[in-house]
């Protein structure tokens, strides 16, 4: 677990378009921050820079005390969950969850992998489905496998990019409860992008509002939505 600090973070794409225009944000160790804002305001760009899938044009990104601007994704030790949680269709639930552990630097024993996969599966109530393939799971179960893949590494932080937007309303409600419970149980620093006002109001410690690449406001959910 670790804090995430953004200092004057800028992203200019190769075509010259500046999608993120000097964002400052301090996310405390264990904090759950929701990132909201209109489509195209730079939310995904910001997440992708934090996880290392997009270069940072200017500014400083720190995870804990380390400046990570130039670190490869695998060395940042973060876990990201996308909305189109791509699972490996030919692998079982067990192997999908184990996959990130097998990629890690420093080989883990099969015994360690097994213990970690079973712990993550237990937290997500997937224990009975470990031998199934993704095609034979419900949407909610697939989403939980994607979460399992994120939590199994005990990463320093979670980054969620609208993870529930492809689910129907009922499943979304269940998964919302699940995510809140999981984050409390694990206490992992989390940045969560959403369009959903209920998620924004109920999940986070703070809500950050991005508009045209600039941070407009950071407040508690109450502070934000109780305004006249
Ligand atoms: P959001 O996630 O808030 O919808 P994005 O971060 O995806 O916004 O995009 C922010 C802005 O950057 C948008 O105007 C988008 O068109 C632009 N953008 C995204 N990716 C690229 C790219 N590879 N090249 C140029 N512009 C991009
Ligand atoms: P490298 O060039 O060092 O192999 P890659 O960019 O190919 O790095 O990414 C591979 C590693 O990056 C994987 O081990 C994985 O842990 C991490 N990674 C890639 N995408 C993500 C993501 N969306 N969320 C978290 N980690 C990721």
pLDDT for the residue numbered 115: 96
Spatial neighbors of 28 by CB under 8 A, at least 6 apart, are 3, 189
pLDDT for the residue numbered 225: 66
Cα gap 217→151, rounded to integer Å: 29
Instruction: Look over the chain and give the mean of its residue pLDDT values, rounded to a whole number.
Output: 91
* Residue 52 CB less than 6 A away from ligand 2: no
Residue-wise pLDDT for 128-181, tens only, equals 999 999 999 988 889 889 989 988 988 899 999 988 887 788 888 888 888 888
Residue-wise pLDDT for 42-80, tens only, equals 999 999 999 999 999 999 999 999 999 999 988 898 988
pLDDT for the residue numbered 96: 96
pTM for the full predicted model: 0.83
pLDDT for the residue numbered 81: 84
Spatial neighbors of 33 by CB under 8 A, at least 6 apart, are 25, 27, 190, 191, 192, 204, 205, 206, 207, 208
**Contact between 167 and 13 (Cβ < 8 Å):** no
Dist. CA 129 → ligand 2 center (Å):
26
**Contact between 135 and 89 (Cβ < 8 Å):** yes
Dist. CA 20 → ligand 2 center (Å):
22
Which residue's alpha carbon is at the smallest distance from atom 1 of ligand 1? Answer: 40
Dist. CA 155 → ligand 2 center (Å):
13
pLDDT for the residue numbered 164: 86
Dist. CA 126 → ligand 1 center (Å):
35
**Contact between 186 and 158 (Cβ < 8 Å):** no
**Contact between 10 and 58 (Cβ < 8 Å):** yes
Residue-wise pLDDT for 166-210, tens only, equals 778 888 888 888 888 888 888 999 999 998 888 999 999 999 999
Dist. CA 19 → ligand 1 center (Å):
6
Ligand 1 site-directed mutation target among 17, 161, 193, 194, most atoms within 8 Å of CB:
17
* Residue 45 CB less than 6 A away from ligand 1: yes
* Token pair 């990130």 in the structure block, residue: 100
Ligand 1 site-directed mutation target among 40, 82, 216, most atoms within 8 Å of CB:
40
3-state secondary structure of 69: coil
Residue-wise pLDDT for 68-125, tens only, equals 999 998 889 898 887 777 899 999 999 999 998 998 777 899 999 999 999 999 988 8
Tokens coding 96: 């999908």
In this prediction, the answer to ipTM > 0.85 reads no
Dist. CA 104 → ligand 1 center (Å):
30
């Amino acid at each position: 677990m670790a804090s995430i600090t953004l200092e004057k973070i800028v992203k200019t794409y190769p075509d010259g378009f500046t999608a993120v225009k000097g964002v400052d944000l301090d996310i405390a160790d264990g904090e759950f921050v929701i990132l909201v804002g209109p489509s195209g305001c730079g939310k995904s760009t910001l997440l992708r820079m934090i996880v290392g899938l997009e270069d940072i044009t200017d500014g400083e990104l720190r995870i804990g005390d380390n400046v990570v601007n130039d670190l490869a994704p695998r060395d940042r030790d973060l876990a990201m969950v996308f909305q189109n949680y791509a699972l490996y269709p030919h692998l079982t639930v067990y192997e999908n969850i184990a996959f990130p552990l097998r990629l890690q630097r420093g080989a883990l024993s099969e015994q360690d992998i097994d213990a970690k996969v079973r712990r993550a599966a237990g937290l997500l109530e997937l224990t009975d489905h470990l031998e199934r393939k993704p095609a034979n799971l419900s949407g909610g179960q697939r989403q939980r496998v994607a979460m399992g893949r994120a939590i199994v590494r005990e990463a320093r932080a979670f980054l969620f990019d609208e993870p529930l937007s492809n689910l129907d309303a009922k499943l979304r409600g269940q998964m919302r409860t699940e995510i809140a419970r999981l984050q409390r149980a694990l206490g992992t620093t989390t940045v969560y992008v959403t369009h959903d006002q209920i998620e924004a109001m109920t999940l986070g410690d703070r809500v950050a509002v991005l508009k045209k690449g600039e941070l407009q406001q950071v407040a508690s959910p109450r502070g934000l939505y109780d305004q006249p």
